[in-house]
Each structure stands twice: as structure tokens, then as C-alpha cells.
Chain A
Amino acid sequence: MTEKCVFDVPQSVIDRATHYCPGCQHGTIHRLVGEVLDEMKLREDTLLVSSIGCSVFLYNYLDVDAVEAPHGRAPAVATGVKRARPDNFVFTYQGDGDLASIGLAEIVHAANRGERLSVVFVNNTVYGMTGGQMAPTTMVGQKTTTCPSGRCPESQGLPIRMSEIIAQLGGVAYCARVAVNTVKNLGQAKKALRRAFEVQATGQGFGFVEFLATCPTNWRMTPVQANERIAAELIPYFPLGVFKDAPKEECA
């Protein structure tokens, strides 16, 4: 009987150990990105803009051309890349500190201009790389090294819901929030990612997918506890779903 391979490393993913902590979902999300790039046959056309944070080394794990952007500026760098090479597939991969804090202006304006880009936004409610400080997405009451008694909305505001903001902007063709905490959600996350990539490939506009993700290390949890927190705490405040799926509004 001949053996049939049913599961393998995607061609777009380099088969090597990652530097992520155990239970970190950056690796899972990388794999989904690789699978979708493969399925859409985009690997050879892809230009990745990597950002600052734990995922800066994404370029070591994906077998695609890549450039590193300053903290928060990936959407502007990607705008330049895409304007220079409109025939290539361009995407950014950004954490919540990167996209929702320092880079808020860049993401809002790239989305609003309807740049033909795809954005993979990984929301783990904390600054991972710098050691677990408060992020704009940190949950009320969540303890971090810069809000040691828990985030207090009175002095620190409420967690920012980026997908809801992005979906309002005219240039956006697709915007969704997903999670990879269950097999079912994983399947839906991949569908959303594919759709976000498709709206770029078909020139319809800007595609955005927010992933709710774990950071067991800075949440001070085991990988299993961290995964359970997604369903128990994060999804009720950051609802999953498609917030927009419509072509970019064209000028008259």
C-alpha cells in the first residue's frame, strides 16, 4: 500500500524551530499564512513587511522576500512597496503594540486610502517582546508590568477594538476578527485570511484580519490556560466575525 501524505509543512513556510515561547500562537498564525500563500500560489509574488515585536523574525520562517519596518510603520512601508510594485502581493504582520499604539496613524490611513494591501494583526493584549507591558488592547483588570494592579479604564482607557475601527473606513474591502483557540475557529480564521488576501489579489481594496492570540509567558499562564482565556475573556469583549466584506468605495 502506498502512503499518502496528508499533512506537511507548507512550501511558503521554512521547516525550522521557531523562537516563540511554548503555547504562543504566532507560530500557528504563521502556518495559516503559509498555507493560504501556497493555496493561492502567491509565494513567488509575495513581499512581506515585517514589524517590531516578537514576530519581527517572521521573515526567518516564511520563504518569501521581506523588509523590516520601524515600529508601527509597516502599513506606510507596505504602501511604498505596493505603489512601487503593484503586481506583487504585499502584506504586513503586526502585533497590537505595533498596530494599535505607535502605528495607529499609519494603519488607519493606509486602510482609508484603500491601499491594495493585506494586514495580519495579532492581538495578544500585551507587549510581548519588551516583557509584558500594557498594550492599547490590554483587558480591563489585566495585570501587566506597567499596570501591576490591573488596567483601570479611568486612567488608562478601555481596550481598543481595532477591527470595529478599521471596518468603518471607506478604503477597506474586508475586515474580520478571528481566533485560533479551537479547531472550528482555526478553520474560520483560515477562511478569513484567504478572503483578506483575495481582496488584494483582485484589486478590490484593503484586507484586514485581527487574530486574538495567546501570550502565555506574559499572561503568566500555562499554554492551556492561555488558550482557555481566549474563549472566556477575550471573545466576549472582542467578538469574532466579519465586520465588512464589500469592495472599496471608488471615486466618481
Chain B
Amino acid sequence: MAERIFIKGNEAIAHGALAAGCVCYFGYPITPQNDIPEFMSTAICEAGGQFVQAESEIGAVNMLLGAAAAGKRAMTSSSSPGMSLKQEAISYMAGSELPGVIVNMNRGGPGLGDIGPSQGDYFQAVKGGGHGDYRTLVLAPATCQEAYDLTIAAFDLAFAYKNPVLILGDAILGQMKEPVTAWKPEARSADEAASWRLSGAKGRPKRLIKSLFLEDGALAGQNLRLKEKYERMKAEIRFESFQCEDAELVVVAFGSIGRIAKSAVRTLRAAGFKVGLFRPITLFPFPSEALAELARQGKRFLTIEHNLGQMVEDVRLSVLPHADSAFFGVMPGNLPMPDDFEQPIRDCLGG
């Protein structure tokens, strides 16, 4: 029987990583994700893996790059300012086609900002973040169970696409405690199966993992191959659609805010309002087609985010020319309640 454990969102990610066969964790302390390195400092070693508290986020993510090149399942985690530091290596990993899982428990910014929840890193996560033309798969859990499940998925996706996979959470998800059903995926040794991994050129030609392409046309070829890969990632699109069928207004929100918005939608439904919730779970690739379909059915949209308006741009691109999306933003520093969303939703319905 699957075990039920009562843990924080941060811990759910760490447990999920171990269940997925993560053997190397590299981290650096930053609030609100410290539970992950603290948990890993003993748990991954007990499981026979490696833990390093790196000298910086730059050190940690480059250790991830190295372990990934060696074909191992590896992870690093951080929060906003630390994520900015990791972007160079994430770009190198995308350019070198290396698998790795990177967690961002988004806090308020820009700059040092605050340590409370925010969704201000949406652009950074889904539009590449570092230099050059690349994308990372981005998964946005809303519950501790989803944090566990999506972390397991993240490792499989990273190896399936040889690409970095980001898990984008926030301080709400990281710090809340919920029961989680811990399950273990089928054991697989990604490392030994990978034909590209570095293991020493014994009895085979040497292997090279690089992102430098100087020969005529070589970078163009690589970038076009990457584009084709990003297209293929559309097979992984995930979202939650809640009472959208007969809805006049669809609220679009992700992560913790998606979950809080769902409570508001439930309350308003009970009061007779025709409102639904659409919660993207993959932020890249974005569930554009599903939103476009709702737009073609004549629905209107309200995007709610914990920022000044970032995902709303992707929502608008998805629903145009059939519809537009209104926007309601909560600022970081506030922990929004379902009640906070009811009035903006009513305003949209009435308008």
C-alpha cells in the first residue's frame, strides 16, 4: 500500500526527487526553499547518493551540469535571486542538450525583494531566462501531492528530451504542509542507458558534450534541431480545467494562485455564477490550443497572477483573435485569500 506522509511542499519535491532516482543534489541556502537542501543533506546520502552545499548557486548549477554530463539523475533548487545566477549554466545545459531538474520556489523581486510568495519569475522561467535561443520545460505544481508527482515527471522529461526541466513553485507551496501519497515509479537507470553520457572512452570512440558550434552553419543546425525538440514537447502539455464547459468566464491562474482562485470559483459557482478555472500545469509548453478552443466557444477570460501581469501575455496570444483576457494582479508581500478574487471575477462577469 502506498505510504501517506504529512510534509511541506519543499519536502514533497525532495521526496519526489529521491523516488525518481535522483542520486546527486547540489544546493545553496536561500529562503523559502531551505527545507530542500536540509532534507537532502542526510536523505540523499542515506540513499547512497551525493549532496554538496555549493559555494554559490553558480557552483551548484554547474555541478548539476557535470553530473548530467555523466548521465546521472541530478537536481538543484533555489529561489529567485539564486535562479538569476543559475541562468548561464541553464543556457549551457540547453545548448549542450543535458538533462537536469531545477527548482525555483519563487519569492518577491526584483532585486532582494522579499521572501514571501510571488510569481514574478514567470517570464524568466518560460521565455528562456538565460542567453540565447532556448526553452526549458516548466512545471507548476499547486499542491504538495502535485509537487511530489511533478518532480518525478520532471526527471523523466529531462531525460526524454535531454533538456533542463524547471519546477516553478512559490513560498505558499513550499511552506504549507499536506498529506502526500508517496509512490515510487519503476526503477530505471537513466545513466547506464544513455548513449551520450560520459563514462570514459573504453572500447568506443570518445564522446564530447559541448555548446560551442563554430563551423559554418553548425549553430544554425543545432538551433533548428532544438526548435524541433521544443515543438515535440507539446506532447507533454498538462492543465486542469475546472467547470469550464458551461462557463461564461474562465479564470486562468497557475500554481498556488490557481489553487486559491479555484476556491473563489467554487464559491461563486455555488452562488450561481457561470465561472470556471483553467490552470496551466506546464507553463512551457503553454496550453495554448486548449485555451484557443475555449475562446472559439465564445468564453471570456480573466488571468489572475501574483505579479504585474506576465502569463496574461501568453493567455492573450492563445485566445486572440476570438477573445482577450482581463487581468487581476496581486502584489508580492500579500498572501491572497479566495475572497480577494471574488470581486474582480464578479466585475468581469458583470461587464
A residues touching B (Cβ–Cβ < 8 Å)?
Answer: 43-47, 49, 56, 59, 63-70, 73, 76-85, 88-89, 105-106, 108-109, 113
Q: Decide if A84 touches B200 in the complex (CB within 8 Å).
A: no
Pick from B56, B65, B70, B201: contact of A85, CB under 8 Å: B70
Closest to B63 in A: A80
Q: Is the CB of B52 within 8 A of A83?
A: yes
Q: Nearest chain-B residue to A50 (Cβ)?
A: B210
Residues of B within 8 A of A105 (CB): 55-56, 58-59
B206 adjacent to A65 (CB under 8 Å): yes
B23 (CB) vs chain A CBs: closest residue: A84
Chain A contacts for B96, CB-based, 8 A:
67-68
| Inter-chain contact B54/A76, CB cutoff 8 Å | yes
Chain A-chain B contacts (Cβ-Cβ < 8 Å), number: 140
Supposing A65-B199, A67-B209, A68-B96 touch, asked if A77 and B63 sit within 8 A by C-beta, the answer is: yes
Specify which chain A residues have a CB less than 8 angstroms from the CB of B191 in the assembled complex: 84
In the complex, chain B residues whose CB is within 8 Å of the CB of A70: 62, 65, 88-89, 92
Indicate if B188 sits at the interface (CB-CB under 8 A).
no
Selected A-B contacts with CB under 8 Å, 13 pairs: A44-B200, A68-B92, A68-B211, A70-B88, A76-B58, A76-B59, A77-B66, A77-B69, A80-B24, A80-B67, A80-B70, A84-B72, A113-B52
Q: In the complex, are the beta carbons of B58 and A73 less than 8 A apart?
A: yes
Q: Are A63 and B201 in contact (CB under 8 A)?
A: yes
Interface residues on B, range: 35 or more
CB-CB under 8 A for A88 and B200, given A67-B210, A80-B64: yes
Contacts of A81 in B (CB 8 A): 66-67, 69-70, 198
A46 to B198, CA, bound (A): 9
- Minimal Cβ-Cβ distance residue in B for A69: B62
Shortest CB–CB separation between residue A118 and chain B, in angstroms? 15
Of B68, B191, B210, B211, chain A has the most CB atoms within 10 Å of the CB of B210
Name the residue among A69, A70, A88, A106 with the largest chain B CB count within 10 angstroms: A70
Q: How far is the CA of A99 from the CA of B88 in the complex (A)?
A: 17
| Residue in B64, B67, B191, B200 whose Cβ sees the most chain A Cβ within 10 Å | B200
Q: Residue B207 contacts which of A65, A78, A89 (CB distance < 8 angstroms)?
A: A65
Contact A79 B69 (CB under 8 A): no
A64 to B72, CA, bound (A): 19
Q: How far is the CA of A84 from the CA of B52 in the complex (A)?
A: 11
Closest 6 A-B residue pairs measured CB to CB?
A80-B66, A80-B63, A76-B62, A84-B70, A109-B55, A44-B202
**Are A45 and B24 in touch, CB under 8 angstroms?**
no
Which one, B59, B67, B207, B210, contacts A68 given CB within 8 A? B210
Min Cβ gap B65→A in Å is: 5
The answer to whether B199 and A66 touch across the interface, beta carbons within 8 angstroms, is: no
- DSSP class of B's interface residues: helix, strand, loop or mixed? mixed
Contact A45:B200 (CB < 8 A) given known A67-B209, A76-B59, A77-B62: yes
Complex Cα–Cα for A250 and B83 (A):
33
A73 touches B62 (CB 8 A): yes
Chain A CB within 8 A of B208 CB: yes
B122 within 8 A of A: no
Report how far A67 CA is from B26 CA in the complex, Å: 19
Which residue of chain B has the shortest Cβ distance to A42 in the bound complex? B200
Q: Does any Cβ of A come within 8 Å of B74's Cβ? A: yes
CB distance from A139 to the nearest CB of B (A): 29
CA of A83 to CA of B199, assembled, Å: 13
Report the separation of the CA atoms of residues A82 and B74 in the bound assembly, to the nearest whole angstrom: 13
Closest residue of chain A to B211 (Cβ to Cβ) is A68
Within 8 A of A (CB), among B190-218: 191, 198-203, 206-212
Given the interface pairs A45-B200, A46-B200, A105-B56, the reply to whether A69 lies near B65 with Cβ below 8 Å is yes
A84 near B201 with CB under 8 A, answer: no
Asked if A67 and B69 make an inter-chain contact with CB atoms under 8 angstroms apart, the answer reads yes
A44 CA / B74 CA spacing, docked (Å) = 24
Q: Which of A46, A64, A80 contacts B74 (CB 8 A)?
A: A80
Please give, as numbers and ranges, the residues of chain B lying within 8 Å of A84 by CB-CB distance. 23-24, 50, 66-67, 70-72, 74, 191
A76 near B210 with CB under 8 A, answer no
Known: A67-B209, A70-B88. A83 touches B201 (CB 8 A): no
11 A-B pairs besides A68-B92, A80-B63 with CB distance below 8 A are A56-B212, A65-B198, A65-B200, A67-B210, A70-B89, A73-B58, A73-B89, A77-B62, A80-B66, A85-B72, A88-B199
Q: Given A66-B208, A67-B96, A106-B59, does the pair A45, B202 have CB atoms closer than 8 Å?
A: yes
* Residues from chain B with Cβ under 8 Å of A59 in the complex: 208, 210
Contact with A along B203-236 (1 / 0, CB 8 A): 1001111111000000000000000000000000
Q: With A and B bound together, what is the CA distance between A85 and B191 in angstroms? A: 10
